[in-house]
Amino acid sequence: MKTVIMKTLLYLGLWCWVLGRGTRAMSVEEKTKTRDQILEMFDHAYGSYMKYAYPADELMPLSCRGRVRGQEPNRGDIDDSLGKFSLTLIDTLDTLVVLNKLEEFEEAVRKTVRDVKLDNDVVVSVFETNIRVLGGLLGAHVMADLLRERGERMQWYRDELLHMARDLGHRLLPAFNTTSGLPYPRVNLRYGVLNPLSRTGTESDTCTACAGTMILEFAALSRLSGESVFEEHARKALDVLWEKRQRGSDLVGTVINIHSGDWVRRDSGVGAGIDSYYEYLMKAYILLGDSVYLERFNTHYSAIMKYISQPPLLLSVHMHNPTVSVRSWMDSLLAFFPGLQVLRGDLKPAIETHEMLYQVTKQHKFLPEAFTTEFRVHWGQHPLRPEFAESTYFLYKATGDPYYLKVGQSIVEKLNEHARVPCGFAAVQDVRTGTHEDRMDSFFLAEMFKYLYLLFSEKSHLPFDIDDYIFTTEAHLLPVSLSTTQPSCQGNSTEVHTAPEDDLFTYSCPSAQTLFPNNPSFAKTIRDSYKYLTGVGRPHQVSPVRGIELPLHDNGMEPVEFLKSMGISLTPLNEAAGGAGSGEQQDSTGQKGVYRVKLIAEVSQTPEEEEVVPLVVQVISPPFLGRVVLTAGPAKFGMDLTKQEHGVKGRIVKSAPYSACGPIENAAALRGHIALALRGDCMFAAKARRLQEAGVIGVIFIDHREGSSSEETPLFQMVGDGGSTSDITVPLVFLFSREGATLTAALEEHQNVDVLLLPKERELGQDKAEKAMGVNIQIRLAKEGELQDGEGKSTTIQLVLEPGEEEEEEEEGRRTGGEGGALAGHCTPTVGGDQDPPHPCTDRQTETTNEQPPPPGPSPSDPESDP
C-alpha cells in the first residue's frame, strides 16, 4: 500500500512538472489574493465614478469630476460615444453580476431605470452606442431576468431594461436609411439622421467594423422583443459587406461609402476599422446558430492566415494586392485576435501573437496604441484597452497553462503602479513618459475587470455558468440559448464564394483534449521561440570586439594616458586574452613589459529610432514679432519644409467646420491663408485634401486631446491614409493642444495673426552658434628625426617612443647622442624650422593650434538640449 501511494505521488509530481514546466502552478491562495485585489481595484474605479461623476457619461479621474458632452473641450470623434445617458453606469451593469456584487447591481438597475433618459438632442456614434449602451442594457436585462427567476433578488423588475433597449434600438434604426443598407456612422438620438435638426447625415463613409458590428445586439433585441426589424437591418449590412469583399483575396477594406458601397480605404488587416466585423461573424454563428455566418468567417479567416498573418505579426495589406504590406506598424486593437483564434480552435498562431504582444507590454509597460514591426512606439497612447487581457483569459481557458495567470498578474500590477490615481484609473497619454490623460473610458469597467476577474476565478465563484453566454465585443453577456428560443431571420441565402477546406474545428468549438493530446506543455514550446522577441530579458552576451595591436613600452605612461584620453583603450595583452593572473606583463611571444593597443568597437543592439525633424510655428505679426515660437511635428506627406529655405509665411484662419471633416464652409476666407484644423473625426490626409481644395497655403493641425504638450509628449510624424498622398502639396504641421491654445488665443485677441512655418533650426532671431573648429590629430610611430615630406611645415604632434631593451642594443652603434632618450614619452610640436626647441607635451599641448576649445554646453544626445 505504501509503495502504491509513493508511486501515485511520484506520478502526480511528474505530471505537475510537465504541466507547469517553466511556469510554477499558481496556488489557490495566490489566485484568491489576486482576485481580491481585482475586486478592490474595481471598487476604486466604480466607486470613483459614482462618487465624482454620476450621472455624467464618464469619469475624469485627474479632475475628479464627470465628463459631460458640451461642457468640456471637444475631443473630436472620441466624444461621439457620449450621449448624456450615464454611459459608464450602463456599460458596467453586467460586470457587477460577474463580480458577484448583486446588491450593487440591483441598486444600479434602479438608478438606470429612474434616471437615464434616451430622448436627448445629441449626435452619437451608431457603433459605440450599439456595443456600449444597447449591449449594456441587454446584458443587464439578461442578468436581472436570471436573478428574478431564482426568486432571491430583482422581484420588482418588470423588463424595464429591455423596454429601454427597444427604445434605443428604434432611435438607432434611422441610421440604416441608406440606398445600400450600410448605416450612417452617426445618428441624433432625438431627430435621427435626415431631419433638418439632426446636425448629421452629411457623412458618406463608415468603417467596416462600424457597419459590421451590429448583428449580436440587434439580433438579441429582435429575439427578446419579438420585433424582427432590428435583426433584418443588421443582417442586411453584413450581406453588403460580404458582397463587396475583394473576390480574388476574400479580404475587405477599412472604410466604405455607405451610399455606393465603393471602398474608400482599401487597406485590410485585423485591427482598427475592421476588427469586430470578423469577430461578429464567428460569434453570430455561436449565438444564432446560422451556419452562413460561420461559412463567411471561415472564408475570411483563410484569407487572413494566407495574407495578413505573418507569425507572430499581423500586418495590414492591400485588399486588391494582398502580397503588399501597406504599413510597418500595428495597432493595439488587434490584441483581441488571439482570443478569436481560440474560439476558432487555431491555437498555435494565437499563442505566437499573444506572446509577441506580451513582450511588447514588458518593454513599454502597456501596449502602445500603435507599435512598429520592430516593436518601437508608433503612437504612445494607452487608454486602458482590455483586448490583451481578453486574449489572455481565452488562452488560459483553452490551455490551463499557469503562464497566463502570471501574464494576468502583470496586467494587474502595471495598472496599479502606472495608471491608478486618487479618483480612479487614468489613461496613459504616452507609454514612453508615463504621463496621464484625464479620461477613464467606460470599457475599462465593462471589459477589463470582467476578464481579469474571470481569469482568476473558478466556476464556483460565479453566480451563473459563464459557458452559457457569449461575450459581445464590449464583453456584455448574451445567452447562447437565443438560437433556439426564436427562429432565425428569413432571407439569409448569400452563397459562399469559395468554401474553405474543412478542418477539425470548422463547425465545432475546440476541445482542450483535442488541442493538447497528452502534451500540456504544448503552449510553452511555441512561446519559447518568441521569449526574447523585443530584446527584453535577454541574458547579457559579450559583444564582439575588434582590436589592433601596437607595442608600447610600459615605463613611459604619458603616451598611454594620452591615448586613453582619445578614447583608445589599453589593455595588457594577457588580460585582453583572459590570461593567467601573473603580475608580469607578457605577450604571446614571451616579450615582457609590452602593452597592446586595442580599439574597442562594441556592436550596439539599440534600435535606431525614426528621426522626427522638429518644426516650429513662429508668430511674426505685431505685437509678437517672432518672440512666440511653438514646437510642431511634421507630416510624412505634403510639402517638405526642410527643403524650403525661408519656410512658408501666411495669415492663420480657423477652418469651418473646425475638424475639416465635412464640406469646407469658409473656403473664401481660407483661400491664400494657413488653415487651423482640429485633430479627430477623420484622417489627416482627408482634412488636408479638403483644405487644399479650398485654396489654403498650409495647414496647422491642433491636437484634440486636452492638456497635451510637446514638453510632455514626444513629437511624431503625421501619416497618410494608406493610399497615395502625392496629390497633397501644401505644408502640414501638428501642434499639441497647449501650444495650439496659445495660437488660438492670439487669434481671438488680435484677429489678424501671421505665422511662419519652418524647421526649428532655422527659426527667425535664433543666434547662430559659432561652429567649433575641429583638430585632426594623426599619430604615426616613427623613430626620432624621421619626418615625412611636409611634416616639418605644419603643426604636427609626434609620438616618439623609446625602444625596448632588445632594440636598444641593436641601435647603439647608430645613435649620435642621448637626446633621443631625453625626448622619450614626450610630444614634439614642430612648426616650420625656426621655432623654439621642443617642450614637453604637458606644457605645450594647447599651443599647437590657434583655435580655443568650444565653451562647455549640453551634449547633442542630452534629452534636455535642443535637437
Whole-angstrom distance, CA of residue 59 vs CA of residue 82: 12
Residues 6+ apart with CB under 8 A from 538: 532
- Alpha-carbon torsion, ordered 542, 548, 550, 553, to 10 deg: -10
Q: CA dist 583 to 212, 598, 706, Å?
A: 77, 20, 66
- DSSP states along 716-755: --B---SS--TT--S-EEEE-HHHHHHHHHHHHHHS--EE
3-state secondary structure of 816: coil
Whole-angstrom distance, CA of residue 291 vs CA of residue 281: 10
Whether 275 is catalytic is yes
Whether 387 is catalytic is yes
**Sole residue written with cell 432571407:** 491
8 A C-beta contact, residue 338 and residue 348: no
Whole-angstrom distance, CA of residue 394 vs CA of residue 350: 10
Q: CA dist 585 to 451, 582, 801, 852, Å?
A: 65, 7, 18, 39
Query: Which of 79, 80, 275, 681 is the catalytic position?
Result: 275
Query: Which of 106, 387, 401, 447 is the catalytic position?
Result: 387
**Sole residue written with cell 499639441:** 736
**In terms of Cα–Cα distance, which of 308, 185, 331 is closest to 253?**
308
- DSSP states along 178-213: SSSSPPPSEEETTTBTTSTTSS-----EEEHHHHHS
Whether 587 is catalytic is no
Query: Which of 72, 91, 205, 369 is the catalytic position?
Result: 369
837: exposed, middle or buried (C-beta count within 10 Å: 0-12, 13-18, 19+)? Answer: exposed
8 A C-beta contact, residue 269 and residue 370: no
Query: Which of 104, 106, 128, 331 is the catalytic position?
Result: 128
564-568: long-range contacts, CB 8 A cutoff, minimum separation 24: 566/777, 568/597, 568/599
3-state secondary structure of 293: helix
Whether 806 is catalytic is no
Catalytic residues: 128, 275, 369, 387
